[in-house]
């Protein structure tokens, strides 16, 4: 798919690294230029920036084009890596992870979100052995038998746990007065 130096896995890694370095360099240069100072002025005080002669629509359109081109390059590289993309690949957990990486890096920083992404990528790798040390079985714990019988897996995502709980409650509850879960699902009588 890619030319000779980039056709292996390491070559693709270096291609992505080159694109990331070029995009970071361009972003740093834009932030330090007259254009970047105008964007900062628009961000801080929009009315004062327009009063000083900064053309807000033109600048925002150029920023949108630059960010769209950067996202297109990243999406193309991601698609060539995955070779098959569905909407299921982009979950809410992934969006929250990106948002947390930006929050860790800070607003107005260029290298900060990069460090936040590295931290959130490396942290689970180091935390996995610690979780294995603290691992305990579900059976025998308070409510552990009920959770295991309901099909709960502690490694499953929170959405699958909610789905399993609602299915187990629907099977095991005889009526609307047996537990709080059933009474929440019964329709509210009209006034």
pLDDT by residue for the chain (191 residues), tens digit each?
667 777 788 888 898 999 999 998 998 898 889 988 898 888 888 888 888 888 888 999 999 999 999 999 998 888 888 888 888 888 898 888 888 888 888 777 888 888 888 888 888 888 777 776 665 554 445 544 445 555 545 555 555 555 555 554 444 445 444 444 444 444 555 55
Are 168 and 150 within 8 A, CB to CB? yes
Q: Give me the phi and psi of 45, to 5 degrees please.
A: -135, 100
Same domain, 81 and 152: no
- DSSP annotation string for 85-127: --GGGS-HHHHHHHHHHHHHH-TT-SHHHHHHHHHHHHHHHHH
Question: 3-state DSSP call for residue 128?
Answer: helix
Number of domains in the chain: 2
Same domain, 13 and 64: yes
The dihedral sign for the CA sequence 32, 33, 37, 38: negative
Same domain, 149 and 86: no
Residue 135 domain-assigned (yes or no): no
**Residue that finishes a domain, picked among 106, 130, 159:** 106
Same domain, 46 and 99: yes
Residue 116 domain-assigned (yes or no): no
pTM across the whole model: 0.58
Same domain, 63 and 150: no
Same domain, 31 and 80: yes
Residue 151 domain-assigned (yes or no): yes
Distance CA 37, CA 155 (A): 47
Residue 17 domain-assigned (yes or no): yes
The one-character DSSP state at 6 is G
Are 56 and 49 within 8 A, CB to CB? yes
**Residue that finishes a domain, picked among 106, 131, 162:** 106
Same domain, 84 and 159: no
User: By residue range, what is the domain housing residue 19?
Assistant: 4-106
Same domain, 102 and 155: no
Residue 21 domain-assigned (yes or no): yes
């Amino acid at each position: 798919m890619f030319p000779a130096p980039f056709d292996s896995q390491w070559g693709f890694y270096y291609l992505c690294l080159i694109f990331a370095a070029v995009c970071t360099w361009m972003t740093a240069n834009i932030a330090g230029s007259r254009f970047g100072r105008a964007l900062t002025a628009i961000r801080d005080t929009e009315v004062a920036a327009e009063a000083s002669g900064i053309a807000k629509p033109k600048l925002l359109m150029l920023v949108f084009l630059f960010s769209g081109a950067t996202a297109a390059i990243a999406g193309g590289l991601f698609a060539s890596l995955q070779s098959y993309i569905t909407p299921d690949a982009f979950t809410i957990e992934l969006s929250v992870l990106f948002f947390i990486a930006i929050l860790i890096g800070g607003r107005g920083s260029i290298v900060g979100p990069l460090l936040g992404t590295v931290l959130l990528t490396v942290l689970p790798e180091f935390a996995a052995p610690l979780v294995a040390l603290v691992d305990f079985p579900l059976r025998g714990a308070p409510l552990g038998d009920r959770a295991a019988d309901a099909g709960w897996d502690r490694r499953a995502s929170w959405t699958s746990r909610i789905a399993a709980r609602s299915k187990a409650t629907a099977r095991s509850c005889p009526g609307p007065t047996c537990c709080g879960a059933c009474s929440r699902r019964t329709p509210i009588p009209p006034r």
